[in-house]
Amino acid sequence: MSIEDIPSPGAGFNFAQYLINRNGERGTKLAYIDDYGTLTYDQLFERVRRLASGLRSLGLKREERVLLLMHDCNDWPVSFLGAMYAGLVPVAVNTLLTADDYAYMLEHSRAQVALVSGALLPTLTAAMTKSDHEVNKVIVSHPAAPLHPSEIAFESFLQMHTPASKPAPTCGDDHGFWLYSSGSTGRPKGTVHTHANPYWTAELYGSRCLGIREADICFSAAKLFFAYGLGNGLSFPLSVGATTLLMAERPTPAAVFKRWTEQKPTVFFGAPTGFAGMLAAADLPSKEQVALRLASSAGEALPADIGERFTAHFGVEIIDGIGSTEMLHIFLSNLPGKVRYGTTGWPVAGYEVELRDEQGLPAADGEAGDLYIKGPSAATMYWNNREKTRDTFQGGWTKSGDKYIRNPDGTYTYAGRSDDMLKVSGIYVSPFEVEATLVQHPAVLEAAVIGKTDQDGLVKTKAFVVLKETQHATEEELKAFVKDRLAPYKYPRFIEFTKELPKTATGKIQRFKLREQENKA
């Protein structure tokens, strides 16, 4: 079946109502399991419609924004879908940020209502005192302390209202929700997505590529506020009637293993850093202790060594792909049963990709080029940021900011961010390639590579290396290790051992901070 055979959401399409229609026969089946309890499909959608009714009672108008600052729990999908059902726009934000960040997001989004976890309420309260924008109502999930008169418990708010009988008459192109970019440089950008966009990612990637099915129990280390996590934990499983396991705490190896062995998810969604940490853990479960049939990875390119070791241990493939906040989910991916570790696979059916050189012309096979994507799930804009919008969304194409190399077999290999590529002795060097080689050393947990200007003013590679606990390696040992595996000019001329690497809240290495640190030295 081609993309032309999939009905295109148009007039009369509301994503929340679409999911309700898809699951009409699954009333008593479990939709969600969180740290507090469970929700059946009937319970989920009744609560969605109750929340929609409640939000409407507050006088909110179509397309006004609602801040969603909540740890992963059953109230999260109720909040997200309830706002969409009402024709409002949930603004799902990272739970790991500061009060200053939230103050900016409140002002930028002009959110009229906030839905917040009790544990995060003090931070939101501090943000509201810093912001000139006034929030009309704060609805608190699982309050941790007595509430102020302007605040109300989520459960109480639901029970005060009868379920809405009809969804807002939205269409596929209406604004559905916002996600903020990770903000690896500068202020986060409010990325505007439509009601149709999660429909497309669920159909093209969740269903047709990964093959998520009703019998699956899905568990994502990436939280719901991430574009990756939103597909993994909401649009993918709900579109096929699967069950989703939610976890509020950080996805440490111990926390993940506990869910794997006790609640037996069949599909796990993670990131390379997480997979590396799990494989290095002393209490890694055996294949017989888990029920995994499939694993997914995104966020950064997956080193081949990690994928191969995971598959050798569990007999399960890691399907590595690349997506973005701007495209909502993965558009370039390996395929179940057709995995090429060390590559990011092939374009997902329904998406086109192009590699362009510095002049904007097609890059030749084997040469690094800037990655552009065309597909139906692209965001419409960055809110109130015309300059960045025009730079990123170019006609039907979206500029990813990543560099890739197209291989003879049609797969694509990650070559770093566009601003991270290094030119050493007149030749481009991919920091990721050097990093991926370093982490193959048995003592290395993580590595990040940047350019360092030497005494002659020439750029050379420098690696920041985090060693595994109880492990040891010397600088010369690691240099020789890389030289044995890559072209000699690619080995890091400088190595600095460090206890941790700077990362965004999404777990991506912030190489620009390492560059800033180096420039100050």
- What DSSP string runs through 267-313? EEEE-HHHHHHHHH-TTPPPGGG---SEEEE-SSPPPHHHHHHHHHH
Alpha helices, H only, 3-67: 15-22, 41-57
Interval 152-175: pLDDT, tens: 999 999 999 999 999 999 999 999
Cα end-to-end distance, the chain, whole Å:
57
In this prediction the pTM is: 0.88
Dihedral sign of CA atoms 412, 478, 505, 117 in order: positive
Cα(68)–Cα(51) distance, rounded to whole angstroms?
A: 13
Determine the pLDDT at residue 426. Answer: 64
Radius of gyration from C-alpha coordinates of the chain: 23
Structure-model confidence comparison of residues 379 and 509, the more confident one: 379
Pairing of strands 175-180, 217-220: unpaired
- The reported pLDDT for the residue numbered 185 is 47
Q: Is the pLDDT of residue 10 over 90?
A: no
The one-letter code for the residue type at 484 is: D
C-alpha span between 460 and 106 (Å, rounded):
43
Look at residue 326 and tell me whether its pLDDT is greater than 70. yes
DSSP 199-245: HHHIIIIIITTS---TT-EEEESS-TTSHHHHIIIIIHHHHHT-EEE
Closest CA to 415 of 371, 446, 457, 450: 371
The reported pLDDT for the residue numbered 459 is 80
| CA nearest neighbour of 154 among 234, 219, 82, 91 | 82
Which pLDDT belongs to residue 482? Answer: 94
Distance CA 234, CA 359 (A): 40
* Tokens encoding 228: 């990756």
pLDDT in tens, 32-49: 999 999 999 999 999 999
Backbone angles phi, psi at 234, to 5 degrees: -135, -70
Question: Which residue from 432, 403, 424, 444 is spatially nearest to 511, judged by alpha carbons?
Answer: 432
Q: CA-CA distance, 147 to 101, in Å (whole number)?
A: 23
Q: What is the pLDDT of residue 11?
A: 85
CA dist 368 and 416 (Å) reads 9
Region 457-469: mean pLDDT is 90
Residue range 5-25: average pLDDT?
92
**Chain position carrying tokens 């420039």:** 519
- Taking the C-alpha atoms of residue 123 and residue 200, their distance in angstroms, rounded to an integer, is 35
Q: For the ranges 27-36, 60-69, 305-314, 503-512, which has the lowest average pLDDT?
A: 503-512
Amino acid identity, residue 14?
N
Cβ proximity of 465 and 498 under 8 Å: yes
pLDDT in tens, 215-247: 999 999 999 999 999 999 999 999 999 999 999
DSSP annotation of 149 reads: T
At residue 171, what are phi and psi to the nearest 5 degrees? -125, 170
Could you give the angle at the alpha carbon of 329 between the alpha carbons of 328 and 334, nearest 5°?
160
Give the Cα separation of 297 and 365 in Å (integer): 25
- The pLDDT confidence band at residue 182, using thresholds 50, 70 and 90, is low
**Residue 10 CB burial class (10 angstroms; 0-12, 13-18, ≥19):** exposed
Distance CA(268)–CA(298), nearest Å, equals: 12
Give me the residues paired with residue 219 across strands: 245, 268
Cβ atoms 464, 328 nearer than 8 A: no
